[in-house]
Amino acid sequence: MQPQPHIPPATANAAISAALKSQRSRKNRGSYSCGRCGQPKKGHVCHLPPLDVPSTPIAPEPVTSIAAAASSTRSTVVSLSSAPLRQSFTNLRRALSFDDDVDARDEPDPTDLTDLNLDTEIVQPGRFHAVALWEVLKRLPPSGLLMAARVCKGWRETARKMWKAAEELRIRVPKRAQIGYVGSLLQKCPGLVTLSLKLESDFDATTLACIAFSCPNLEVLEILTCGAAVNRISGDELGRFVSNKRGLTSLKMEGCSNLGGFSLTSTSLSTLWLSDLHSLSKMIFNCPNLIEISLEFSQQEGDSTDLVTMVDGLGRTCTRLQNIHIASLKLSHTVVLALTAVNFSCLRMLSLVLGIDIIDASVDAISSSYTNLELLDLSGSSITDTGLGMICDVLPDTLSKLLVALCPNITSSGIQFATAQLPLLELMDCGMTVSDPNSDNPSTPQKTPGYNQKMFIKHKRMKKLSLWGCSSLDALFLNCPELKDLNLNSCNNLQPESLVIQCPKLEIVHALGCQKLLTVAIRKQVSENFAAGENHMTRKRLADGSKRIQAPPSLYQETREDDENYPAKKRRKIEREVCTIID
C-alpha cells in the first residue's frame, strides 16, 4: 500500500467548521431555486435525478458530555483500530494513530472496511464516499472526530462506527479533566482490548471502576502518571479489580506508593508491572500463568518490604515465570539465595538492579542455578571482574544482553574479557564502571594518574554498546562490524588521538560532555568507514565467463544525473546521512 498523506488537525478542523457553517446556511429560508438544476422552483419540474442521501435513518448521538473536555486537542491522543471483529492475538491489527507520523504499514486494507457495513453510497455534505470518509476521519484527533460527528447524519454514523470498531485507545488526560471525560470516551468503545491512560491529576479506585464497567473485553491496561499526579489506589482495590477482570492479561501501573499490601488472584494475568512501591506489608501472587513481572521500589529510606518472603511466594505460585525484574535498595545476597532456591526452570531474563549488597558470591549462585539466561542485569551491584568471569564460564552459549552499569569494582580488563568470551552478546551496558571516583565534576576534562584505562573491544555481533560516564577511559579501540548504537556520554578523559572506531554500520553516537576535538574525530572516522564501504568495487564476470575483474561503477551502474529529461524521482540517490552524532 502506498503511504497516504496525513491531514493536519488544524486543516481538518477548519474544513469541518466550514462544512457546519454551510450546513446551517442551507436551513435559512429565502432560497426559491431548485437544488439540482438551479432553475426557479415555481412551475418547474426538474429532470435531474435526486441527490444521493443515506438510506438508513440515524438517531442523533449525544456528544455534549465530552465536548468541553475534548476541546484540548493537544493533551489527548487516541488510537483506534479498524478491526470490528475480535481475532486471535497473533492476528490483531496494530493501532491506527492520530499522531503526525502515520505509518502506512499500520493502515488497514480498504477491502477490510466491508466488515464495518459502511454505506457504499455517497455521504453528504461534500459527496464523500463512505470508505474515503473513513480514511479522512481516522486521521483526526478526538476533538476533530467529535466535531465531524455533528456535520450530518452520514458523518455521525461513520464516526460512531469508528469509535465502536476501536480495539486500542491511548489517552492523555489533562489535569482539568474529570473522570467523566474518561468514562464518556470509554462508553463509545465497547470493544476495547488495549487501554493506555496517562493521567496528569490524582486518581483513585473510581478510575478502576469506570474501566471495569465500560471495558468488558479489556486485556491490556496501562496507567501512567505525569507530573505531580498521585495514585491513591489501595492494594485491596487493585486486588478486587484484577480478580473481577478475568480476561486481563497485562497490567502496568505507575505510582503505586499507596498500595500498602496486596493479594492478586488471576488465572489470565501474564504480565505485571508495578512501580514506586514502598513498605508493603504483604505481597501475594496467585497467578499461575504469570510470565513476566517487574517490581520497582522507591528509593526512599525506611522501606520495610520483606523481599525474601516475596521471592518465596513467587516460587510457590508463579512457577512459569520467564522474566523477572526487581529494582530495590534492599536487594542483597540473601535475596539472591532465596531466588536461586526457588529455581524457576523457565527463567530467561533476570534483572536485579540497585542491589549494592549483591557480590561475586551472588553471581556464583545465579550462574549455577540458571544456565539458560539470555539477559542478565546486575546494575548497581558490587560485583568485580571475578563475577564477570563466572558469568562468561557458564553462559557463553545463551547470554545476548549483559548490563553491569554503576558497578564501580569492574575494570576495563573485565569488560574486554566478557566481550571476548560471550560470542552471542548483542547489547552491553558498562556505564559508570571505568570511572574516576575522585572526579567531582565529570564535565571537566582532566587526567588523574592511576585511573586512566584503555579498552579494546572486537566483536562480530555487538549491536549496542554503552560506555556512558567512563571518565577514566583515555583510549578506545572498537572493531564491531554490526555495531549501530554507541554511547560515549561524559567520557571526558577520552583522547581523540587514542580513539579508533571501525564500525561501518554505526548509525548513532552519543557524545554529550565529551571534548569537542573528540566529536570531530568521531565524525571523521565514521565518515571514512562509510566511504570505504561505498567505494568497494564489486566483481563482475566477463561475457564469456572466463574470469572475474574489478568492474568500475560505470560498467554496471547508470545514474543519469546529467540528464535533464530524466525524472528527478528516478535519479539514484548517491549521498545520504552517514551517522547521527548527538553532542
Q: What is the pLDDT of residues 6-65, one digit of tens each?
A: 455 555 556 556 555 555 555 445 556 676 666 776 667 776 655 443 333 333 333 333
Q: Which H or E run includes 239?
A: helix 235-244
State residue 102's pLDDT score. 33
- Cell matching residue 461: 555481533
Gap between the Cα atoms of 240 and 237, Å rounded: 5
Q: What is the pLDDT of residues 58-103, one digit of tens each?
A: 333 333 333 323 333 333 334 433 333 333 333 322 222 223 333 3
CA 67 from chain centre, in angstroms, equals 30
| Average pLDDT per block of 10 residues along the chain, 583 residues long | 50 57 52 67 67 36 31 36 34 27 37 42 54 78 78 82 84 83 85 91 92 92 92 94 94 93 94 94 93 93 90 93 95 95 92 94 94 95 95 94 94 94 95 71 42 87 93 91 93 89 91 87 81 52 54 44 49 57 82
Gap between the Cα atoms of 147 and 159, Å rounded: 10
State residue 53's pLDDT score. 36
Task: State the DSSP code for 48.
Answer: S
State residue 79's pLDDT score. 41
Sign of CA dihedral 220, 225, 226, 231: positive
State residue 571's pLDDT score. 46
CA 62 from chain centre, in angstroms, equals 34
State residue 220's pLDDT score. 96
| Amino acid, res. 557 | Q
Gap between the Cα atoms of 108 and 1, Å rounded: 9
Q: Cβ atoms within 10 A of the Cβ of 64, count?
A: 8
- Helices 179-187 and 205-214 cross at an angle (nearest 10°) of 10
265: helix, coil or strand?
strand
Question: pTM to 2 decimals?
Answer: 0.72
Gap between the Cα atoms of 91 and 445, Å rounded: 54
Least Cα distance to 579 among 499, 494, 495, 483 occurs for 483
Per domain, the residue ranges of the chain are 130-165, 452-532
Q: What angle do CA 285, 287, 292 make, to 5 degrees?
A: 90
Task: Determine whether 45 is exposed, middle or buried from the number of CB atoms within 10 Å of its CB (0-12, 13-18, 19+).
Answer: exposed
